[in-house]
Amino acid sequence: MSQSQHPVALRIERRVGGATRLLATVMCLPLLDGIFPALVLAGALSEPTGILEVGLLIFGGSATVAVVLADMDGSPREQARSVLLVGSVVVVGAVVEAALAPTIAGFIDLGVFKRFAGLVILAVAAQTASARVGDLLPRPAIIIALGLVASLDPAGAALVVQFDPGLMLRAAAAALVAVGFALHLAVFGPWLRDIVDIDRFRFGSAVALGVLPLGLFGLVPGDAPLALAVLGMTFLFAFDPQDSVADLRSDDGSDGGDQSRADDEYDSVGPASPDTVAEEDHAPWL
């Protein structure tokens, strides 16, 4: 089981099992439940900051951090191979869905669909923060399906396959950001496990994820890196090297405690006098 107790990772792990399959499911989940294509249609990749936010918060996210740092075994090189294998699938899937997005956009009212895309991100943020709250909310796929129905615009529909190479490149860039993020976690995992509080990062990333829809709702400028700023603060608050120092002190304290008790006993008894030593040496013969 995940040592981080991440709600999403725990739920998926019960179904798929295995660290590599768990990582693949977590990173591919935005492709499977429709979160990524919803963000593509909502214009989340139109700015460089949006590409970073989608890569770090949607494909990367706290679930990826939890899986890599708390569940994956093996050397950093072996973990890096697993990340690259999973990452290749994520990049290809992101490009394919971005290629289909312009065609889907011809059938829907993007203004209405953006609101549902924002609701999806809020639901995922709630699930990340609390499993109990997440159970009370509908699945992201259900919200996206309702959004497609509500925003369907048959009048402007045109069954013409359209490809936007720029959009496909931006989608690949967002997926590569997530792969690079997971790769750094795998390489520096032995060090990060001692200084990063995974659950604290989970709550902070849930807040950053909840901030992301503000740009989709038009409450903040689309190019304002507010979610990235919150994510950066999350890294700072999750940085907790005192845990490793406390572990070292507890390890040393066990030996030091034995030694201090021995010293206390020595001080209470005091050094043995020559007569006492002599009596003790001759005691067996008395």
pLDDT value of position 222: 56
pLDDT value of position 6: 59
Q: Are residues 86 and 202 in the same domain?
A: yes
Share of the chain above pLDDT 90, in %: 19
Task: Give the chain's domain count.
Answer: 2
Residue 2 resides in a domain: no
Q: Are residues 87 and 49 in the same domain?
A: yes
Q: Are residues 93 and 177 in the same domain?
A: yes
Residue 87 resides in a domain: yes
Q: Are residues 126 and 252 in the same domain?
A: no
Q: Residues in the chain with pLDDT < 50?
A: 1-2, 244-262, 264-286
Q: Are residues 109 and 249 in the same domain?
A: no
pLDDT value of position 96: 93
pLDDT value of position 118: 85
Residue 1 resides in a domain: no
Q: Are residues 162 and 257 in the same domain?
A: no
**pLDDT tens digits, residue range 167-193?**
999 999 999 999 999 999 999 988 888
Q: Copy the structure tokens of residue 255.
A: 């030996």
Q: Are residues 51 and 159 in the same domain?
A: yes
Range of the domain at 195: 7-240
Q: Are residues 46 and 75 in the same domain?
A: yes
